[in-house]
């Protein structure tokens, strides 16, 4: 297994702003402020997904996991290996596992799991791991490209804003 860390492209940043939009809508809808999308190798959005933890009473209803389960049903493994998962916040252990098993070959995220832990603290609705996805995925047998965290202050501020006051 090889985890390759890469730098974001302008298209990656554009699509991460889309995940921030999805996350903001998720919060407005009463769910946790997380958003994800799946894009093909050309950056065309194939699927979007907001967090569903509250609305479906499903603690496994993370945006990334729900999206990846849908994607695994809709597309074959070879195609998914050429796709990218974009997410506003670094995938947790469960979501990293879903990425691995769905066979998505590239991950792009904005905010770190560690930063999220600093915002959620001990909130029982999000008992966040402080375990980087790179570490989780490095123990697998697949080649996965990881882009993140990104260094875009405006994007990070927007994502942090959606979490402010939510976990109090």
Q: Which two tokens stand for residue 53?
A: 């933890």
Extract the tokens encoding 15: 């699509």
Residue 79 CA to residue 53 CA, distance in Å, equals 28
Catalytic residues: 64
Count Cα atoms within 13 angstroms, Cβ side, for 102: 28
Sheet holding 143-147, edge to edge: 2-6, 143-147, 106-111, 84-89, 35-39, 45-50
| Contact by Cβ (8 Å): 92, 51 | no
CA nearest neighbour of 83 among 140, 36, 42: 42
Q: Is residue 19 classed exposed, middle or buried when 0-12, 13-18 and 19+ CB atoms within 10 A define those classes?
A: buried
């Amino acid at each position: 297994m090889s985890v390759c860390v890469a730098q974001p492209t302008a298209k990656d940043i554009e699509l991460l702003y889309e995940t921030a939009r999805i996350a903001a809508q998720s919060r407005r809808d009463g769910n946790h402020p997380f958003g994800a999308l799946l894009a093909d190798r050309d950056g065309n959005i194939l699927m979007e997904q907001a967090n569903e933890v509250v609305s479906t009473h499903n603690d496994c209803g993370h945006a990334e996991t729900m999206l990846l389960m849908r994607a695994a049903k809709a597309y074959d493994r070879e195609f998914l290996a050429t796709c990218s998962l974009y997410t506003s916040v670094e995938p947790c252990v469960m979501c990293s596992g879903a990425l691995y098993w769905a066979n998505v070959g590239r991950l792009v995220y904005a905010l770190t799991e560690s930063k999220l832990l600093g915002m959620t603290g001990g909130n029982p609705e999000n008992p966040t791991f402080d375990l980087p996805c790179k570490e989780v995925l490095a123990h697998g047998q697949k080649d996965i490209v990881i882009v993140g965290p990104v260094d875009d202050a405006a994007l990070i501020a927007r994502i942090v804003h959606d979490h402010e006051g939510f976990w109090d």
